[in-house]
Amino acid sequence: MKPTLLVLAAGMGSRYGGIKQIEPVGPSGETILEYSVYDALNAGFGSIVFLIRRSIEADFSEVVLSRFPPSVQRRIAFQEIDSGLTPDQAKASSSRQKPWGTGHALLCAREAISTPFAVINADDFYGRGSFVIVHDFLSREEPTGRSYCMAGFSLESTTSPYGSVSRGICEVDSVGHLVSMAENKKIERRGALFVSIRDDGTEFDLPGDSTVSMNFFGFTPAVFPQVERSWKLFIEKNLDSPKAEFFLPTVVDEILKTGDASVSVLGTTERWFGVTYRSDHPGVVAEIRKRVDEGLYPERLWGKP
């Protein structure tokens, strides 16, 4: 049974200023997530699950899904603000304007996944090699297994010159297992330095070679009950908070603390890039163009006009 790829594409893109999941970056109008799907299929993944909001379903289907050939097995799952909430909880959180975050997104895709699977962000370019190492790890796992993995990137290769980024800073032991992961919501690059800014405005420096999570994880379906437990505790504390987010790295860290699973950090030499801000877009277009010119991707990704 081939692993599944889950693509998280429900974010509103508030810092970007639009629906960045469907913004073209390739020479024939391809989106970043199309390159991820292309790389995943070539690495051996079997099917794709796209997690989106219902409000962008029409645009997503027209601009993205229509480009895939029929041979690409895909499903759509939906993340809404009230997904997984009781009627009373939904009423109490009615002032909220955006979904609850990547941990909540994982739960929203639960019914669409029955195999070991990888999860990625729609607006991040991870590179073919990253998909290969995660695929190979998942191919050795049983659906009930609790050995997970994460593609590890260096902090210095994952920041944006146009503003702050949110990254999970990882502690890794001597045998490559993840020990802990702390979500840093606001990291800025200042020349050769990297600074994390806390909610109270205080700052601390981070090494450029720090291992970070870019939300590229490999799980089995055994993760869903674990995430559900964390979600219930989170929502009890944050139901009336309009900006609280249930981050996937935080959930993974909680799983590690309970000892319910292990997470292997798979170092990748691929260079990450993405579109956190609209100003990032021209640079991404140039990076894709470079890879097409080098022969890593065809001019038309799916071979049709």
Q: What are 126-143's pLDDT values in tens digits?
A: 999 999 999 999 999 888
Provide the percentage of residues in the chain whose pLDDT is more than 70: 96
Residue 58, pLDDT above cutoff 60? yes
In the prediction, which pLDDT does 20 show?
Answer: 66
The span from the first CA to the last CA of the chain, in angstroms, equals: 32
Average pLDDT of the chain? 89
- Could you tell me the pTM of the whole model? 0.90
In the prediction, which pLDDT does 275 show?
Answer: 82
* Rounded distance between C-alpha atoms, residue 79 and residue 6, angstroms: 13
Strands 211-219 and 117-121: antiparallel
* Digit-coded pLDDT (tens) for 1-45: 899 999 998 864 545 455 666 788 999 999 999 999 999 999 999
pLDDT band at residue 277 under the 50/70/90 scheme: confident
In the prediction, which pLDDT does 276 show?
Answer: 79
Question: What's the chain's length in residues?
Answer: 305
Highest mean pLDDT of the ranges 42-51, 92-101, 165-174: 42-51
In the prediction, which pLDDT does 18 show?
Answer: 58
Tokens (6 digits) for 154: 């260096």
pLDDT band at residue 151 under the 50/70/90 scheme: very high
CATH C-level class of 4-293: alpha beta
* Digit-coded pLDDT (tens) for 175-188: 999 999 888 889 99
* Digit-coded pLDDT (tens) for 198-249: 888 899 999 999 999 999 999 999 999 999 999 999 998 988 887 888 988 8
* Rounded distance between C-alpha atoms, residue 190 and residue 202, angstroms: 15
Residue 261, pLDDT above cutoff 90? yes
Residue 305, pLDDT above cutoff 60? no
Nearest to 24 by CA among 293, 297, 281: 281
